[in-house]
Amino acid sequence: MPEVAELKDLATQQQSVRSQLIAAQTETSDIAREQDKLESDVDQVRQRMTRDQQRLDSGAVTSAKDLESLQHEVGSLNKRQRDLEDVELEVMERLEEAEKKATVLGAEQSRLAAAVEDTERRRVAAHAAIDKDVEHAQRERATVTPDVGEELLTFYEKLRAKLAGIAAVSIKQRRCDGCRLDLSVTDVDRIRSAADDEVIRCEECRRIQVRTAESGL
Ligand SMILES: [Zn+2]
């Protein structure tokens, strides 16, 4: 059944998407953690700057040297804040990218799940149709076998095991329906002279040949 091959292929795709999604989700949470850390760093710098600014504004620091060093510190904190914010911006872009990737993969995962469901439904239906065909064939067979006779039936089953499940075929327009080869003149003569209940077989594929109105004989 083609559905079985499709399901196998879908399973492979699902596995690949699943691992890619896990990787994208891991990346997302790693970057988010990085972002948290940066935010807390920026926060610390801001607090320290506020504290320094308050000290400057309070007028409590009077020594020129202390004032200079405090102002110097505020200057470097400012620069540090700007640097951190630049990094934060870059991290946010990376986070957005990773989240987008995870969203696309998530959608792909849903699409594959729907495809699996659909294919599985078709597989079950195809299977049911085959079961029905088998049931029908078995019913037909049951009506025919009593007339065939034990010995011929045993021979037929043995032949069927050897010939890929097809032991008896019809002759259509002087052509064997098993090997699809045309009958030779000798074959036609042989078959024509055979009794109606005689079991005749194809010289080529060795299958039992059944004569019908369409055999052209
Ligand atoms: Zn044949």
Between the CA of 155 and the centroid of ligand 1 the distance, in Å, is 17
Q: In this predicted model, what pLDDT tens digit does every residue of 89-131 receive, in sequence order? A: 999 999 999 999 999 999 999 999 999 999 999 999 999 999 9
Q: How crowded is the C-beta side of 87, counted as CA atoms within 13 Å?
A: 15
How remote is the CA of residue 182 from the centroid of ligand 1, in Å?
8
pLDDT, tens digit (0-9, with 9 covering 90-100), for 198-209: 999 999 999 999
CA-angle at 85, arms to 80 and 86, nearest 5°: 100
What is the whole-number distance in angstroms between the Cα of residue 147 and the centre of ligand 1? 24
Q: How far is the CA of 109 from the centre of ligand 1 (A)?
A: 50
Q: What are phi and psi of 210, to 5 degrees?
A: -105, 130
Domain ranges of the chain: 2-142, 151-210
The CATH code for residues 2-142 is 1.10.287.1700
CA geometry: angle at 151 spanning 149 and 152, to 5°? 70
Task: State the distance from the centre of ligand 1 to the C-alpha of 208, rounded, in angstroms.
Answer: 8
